[in-house]
Structures are given as structure tokens and as C-alpha cells.
Chains A and B, each alone.
Chain A
């Protein structure tokens, strides 16, 4: 069932994201708008929809069954909207080339290495049984949602009713509801959704985010882009020695909001900043606020945007100070 859910999720995310991306970026898509953008937009839509469902369940005391129904309706509406946008906006779409691009020997070798590294990570998540559930209670929370058929009705760690309640800033985070809805709809246990399905999806989404960033950095060379991804995959393997590092999040606790932020939203936000796509970037801020505890909605993606804006100014100043006409033209492009 997990495999079926994975197989269904990918085209749904792509379809959702393809049309919604065209809605946000209605001008003829440039060559940097690709499959990763569609997946990421679809993922952000799903997070936003889940937040609506979660707030509906928490504030209106609705059941998980009703929440799941609302989620399905939202997905269906999103797919329909996306389809309509694609039909109406088809003139602006770049037709995908059906010809497989001719790759050199080096590109093939690096591609194979990358695929092996990623498959190894997926196999590790599936079969090693090694997870890090300390400092986190997502599995218990999802299990409790499934048992109570509602959100935050009882203490997930004991099963007893709350006496004093829980902080609102934790209560509004929507990931447990997403996992509970998927578990409810697909008859999967909390452990299966949280410890298996979610990390697999995060692995996929993280490489989509890194691919978007790689495409931004190396738009002229497939070999460099795939080399970038292969290096990322290798670094994530080797950088998994400490809780809080990206590799640790990917391999041991991919379901957590902090892992999704570090591996998916943050690299994607960087690519959006470099491409100056402000509306999708704003949606990244909102998505982060829905899945991790932030300072009144301002998270690390927002802070990174501020940091990058300052960096653009510094780079522009440095390029202008270097004084050559060519650098002056570059400063204009880099500092905007």
C-alpha cells in the first residue's frame, strides 16, 4: 500500500503544481521552470491545504473523517483548477521534448552514481529500521488522531485527556494531520506513514529542491547539474553524524518539520531567491510556518531571504567597485 501511495502521490503533486506554477508565473515559462518546480509547488499546495484541514479540525472540533473528506475535496479542486489553467494557458507552455537528450559518457556515469546513492538512501530508510524518534512525538500524535478520530483531543504520550492543554503554537502545526489523513484514507498505521512513507517522500522532494537549485546554478550544463546532485547525495550520506544536520534528518527523521524545512523548503527557497520568483518564495514562508514552530510566522526561509537580499547589495557594491564596464553590467544583473 505504501508503494501505491508513493506512485499516486508523485503524479498528483506534479499535476497540482504544474498548473498552479503557471498561474503564479503566467508569462511564457523560461527554461528554468521545470519538473522540480511543479513538484515543489504541488507539495506547498498540499501543505497549505493540510493546514486548512487541520485548523478546521482543531477549531471546529471536526472529526478526522470529515477532515480527510475535506482534504480529498481540496486535492480534487486543486487538480481541476490546475487542469483548467493548463488547458487555458496551453499556448504559453513549453512543449516537452520527447527526444531523450544525448548524454556523454561522463554524464551517464555521474547519473548512475547519483541514482545509486539515492536508491541507497531509500533502501536505508526502508530496511535498516534505524530512526530517531527522541525529542519528537509525531508517531504517537498521528496514532492518537487515528484512534480518537480527531485532532489533539487527548495527550498522545499517555492517552489521557489533557488537563491544562497544549501550546497553541504547537497545536496549529499541520504535519500530524497530513500523516493521519493519509493513514486514514489508505488504511496505513501511524508507523507506516510516519516512519516509511514520509521519509521516502522527503528524499524525493529534497532532490527536487536541490535539482531546482542546481538548475539555477548550472543552467548551461547537464553534467554539472547532475554532478551537483551527486555531490549533494554523497554529502548527505557523510553528513549524517549529528542530530540537526541535513543528512541526519534525511536518513533518520525525515518526517519532521525541521527536516522538511532544511532539505526541501530551504534549498528551494534559495533557488527561488536566485531566480527572483517572489510569489512562490512567499508561499515557502507560509509552508514553513505551517510545519515548524516559527516566530509569529517568520522562519528561516524568511531570514534567508533577508540575508540574500543583503548579499545581493554587497555583491552589487563589490562589482561596481571593481570598476570595469563588464563588471558594471554584471552588477546590474546580480544586484536586482
Chain B
């Protein structure tokens, strides 16, 4: 429970550090509470105010996180609060006040200024189009995998071992390319979708692949031991891998040693070396 409260508090600080739309929400609640209006408006405002407070305080936020199940992070408790709808409701209520002098000359100026001011406030509180999250790019990631693997048979006969940026999209391509490991090797949130786990040998293969992509060396240093390239490659081959993709940043000595293991027939494409062992 204490851990959950800590996560809730960290989640709240991250939520408010990224942008200030939640401040607009509280301002909207205040406006709708104080301004005379319909019962439905006040009901929604009171509901949003109460649920916002529940989402902020760690104890109540933890209970909400327990309710929504541990599968979801803190940020999802804010789905209980109608943030967008309430701010929009308050904005429209405010604009309707500014149009009370309708029919008089120049009556349009006040509402237009109100709208522009509202837009400026929202743009300062929010952020677009830059997201704080690193979003994926179909044109870069998916299409790269598509190009690298375009002539590889996708009938389930091929098993691929490649750097993370290619493994990410390999299973999204039409067809069936098997993988030595999937995205859940580094995206641990995906572990919730399956009870299966990778054994240590496969994890070593992943660490070696990412290390060779970075350093270009055949042997990788990991924690307190050395990952031998030969051992990892033999392990992958033993598990049925027949397509191996490596970045072309390999050192010439490394490439020569891999040729001795995998054969000299490989393709060089899009900045990668590709061995197709079924064709050899």
C-alpha cells in the first residue's frame, strides 16, 4: 500500500510537470461552482471536483489504483474525471456571459476576445504537437522493418534475430515471422499479457545483440562477465534462428569472425547485414 501511495504521488507530480491542463480543470470547477447555472452543470462540476481531489491525494488515489487493477498506472485514474468535458463546459458558460450584450453595435468583439484569450490560456496550459512521450513513427520504424524483411518468406518457416528496432515491428508485418524474443524483452509492461518468461540464454542473446549494435565488438561486456558472440550465435542457431540481422557498424574483425560462423553469403541493406541461413 505504501508503495502504491508513493507511485500515486510520483504519478501526480509527473502529471502536473508535463502540462497544466489540470489547473484549468480546477479553475473550471471553481467557475461552475460560483456562477449561477443549471443543476446539471453544478452536478458535473461537483462530481469533477470531488473526483479530482480523490485522484490527487495519495491515499484515495491508491484506492482508485487498486480498484482499476494494478495492470494500469496512476495516470488512468484521471479517466474518472471528465477533464475535457468540464473545461469545455466552463468555457462555454463563460462565453455565454460575454454575449449578453447581443444586438448592440460591436457586440461581437467581446466574445471573440474571450475565445482568443481562452485559446491562449489552453495553449499555455497544454502542449502540442510535441508530446512528452517518445511516440513511434510508422514511416521510420515499421517501414524500415518492411524494407529489411521484404523478401523474407513470412510463412512461419523463418525465425529472426535482429536489433530491437527491427524486432519491434517484425510481428506487425503481414505474414508470420517468428522471433527469438519479442518486444516484451525490453518493454516489461507487456509481461502482463502472458505467463511465459524468457530463459537466461535468450536474455543473453538480447544483451549481446544490443551491445554489438552499440560497440561493433564480437564480445560484449555485461555486468561482471563477458558475453561471447560465438556462444550467443550458437545458442540462437540452436533455437532455430535462420535469419540474423546485424547493424553495419560492426568492426571488420567482428564481421570476419561472424562470416566464419554464419557463412560469407549475406546481404547488405538499409544499414544492416542480413544472413539468410535457409538459402545457404
Assess the A143–B195 pair: CB atoms within 8 A. Answer: no
Assess the B40–A217 pair: CB atoms within 8 A. Answer: yes
Interface: A237 (CB within 8 A): yes
Question: How far in angstroms is the closest Cβ of chain A from B51?
Answer: 6
Cα distance A229–B72 in the bound complex, in angstroms: 29
Choice from B92, B140, B192 contacting A228 with Cβ under 8 Å: B92
B91 to chain A: closest residue by CB: A231
Interface: A60 (CB within 8 A): no
Question: How far in angstroms is the closest Cβ of chain A from B166?
Answer: 14
Interface: B260 (CB within 8 A): no
Assess the B193–A137 pair: CB atoms within 8 A. Answer: yes
Assess the B175–A147 pair: CB atoms within 8 A. Answer: yes
Cα distance A232–B21 in the bound complex, in angstroms: 13
Interface: A129 (CB within 8 A): yes
Take A244-B73, A258-B72 as given contacts and tell me if A239 and B18 are in contact as well, using a CB distance cutoff of 8 Å: no
Cα distance A334–B171 in the bound complex, in angstroms: 53
Choice from B19, B123, B136, B179 contacting A130 with Cβ under 8 Å: B136
Interface size class of B (residues with CB under 8 A): 35 or more
Choice from A140, A163, A242 contacting B171 with Cβ under 8 Å: A140
Take A155-B182, A157-B182, A303-B80 as given contacts and tell me if A162 and B194 are in contact as well, using a CB distance cutoff of 8 Å: yes
Assess the B135–A252 pair: CB atoms within 8 A. Answer: yes
Assess the B80–A307 pair: CB atoms within 8 A. Answer: yes
Assess the B78–A244 pair: CB atoms within 8 A. Answer: yes
Interface: B95 (CB within 8 A): yes
Which residues between 185 and 217 of chain A lie within 8 Å of chain B, taking CB atoms? 189-191, 195, 210, 213, 216-217
Name which of B42-50, B226-234, B244-252, B268-276 contacts chain A.
B42-50
Q: List chain B residues, Cβ under 8 A from A166.
A: 193-195
Question: How far in angstroms is the closest Cβ of chain A from B199?
Answer: 11
The SS class assigned to the A binding surface is: helix
Cα distance A134–B129 in the bound complex, in angstroms: 19
Number of A-B contacts (CB under 8 A): 248
Q: How many residues of A contact B (CB 8 A)?
A: 86
Interface: B190 (CB within 8 A): yes
Take A228-B92, A231-B88, A231-B91 as given contacts and tell me if A304 and B122 are in contact as well, using a CB distance cutoff of 8 Å: no
Q: List chain B residues, Cβ under 8 A from A7.
A: none
Q: List chain B residues, Cβ under 8 A from A190.
A: 172, 174
Q: List chain A residues, Cβ under 8 A from B192.
A: 167, 170
Q: List chain A residues, Cβ under 8 A from B174.
A: 143, 146, 189-191
Mark each residue of chain A from 145 to 189: 1 if its CB lies under 8 Å from any CB of chain B, else 0.
Answer: 011000000011111101111110010000000000000000001
Question: How far in angstroms is the closest Cβ of chain A from B15?
Answer: 7
Assess the A133–B136 pair: CB atoms within 8 A. Answer: yes
Cα distance A195–B176 in the bound complex, in angstroms: 19
Assess the A217–B89 pair: CB atoms within 8 A. Answer: yes
Q: List chain A residues, Cβ under 8 A from B38.
A: 217
Question: How far in angstroms is the closest Cβ of chain A from B169?
Answer: 9
Cα distance A282–B114 in the bound complex, in angstroms: 39
Q: List chain B residues, Cβ under 8 A from A258.
A: 72, 76, 79
User: Hey, which bits of chain B sit against chain A, CB under 8 A?
Assistant: 14-15, 18-19, 21, 38-44, 46-47, 50-51, 67-69, 71-73, 75-76, 78-80, 82-85, 87-89, 91-92, 95-96, 108, 111, 118-119, 122-123, 125-133, 135-140, 142, 156, 171-184, 187, 189-190, 192-196
12 other A-B residue contacts (CB within 8 Å) besides A159-B156, A246-B84: A133-B136, A160-B178, A191-B142, A234-B119, A238-B126, A240-B129, A241-B131, A242-B14, A242-B75, A243-B75, A295-B67, A307-B80
- A-B pairs, top 9 by smallest CB distance, nearest first, are A157-B182, A238-B126, A244-B75, A334-B39, A231-B88, A164-B195, A159-B178, A129-B138, A241-B127
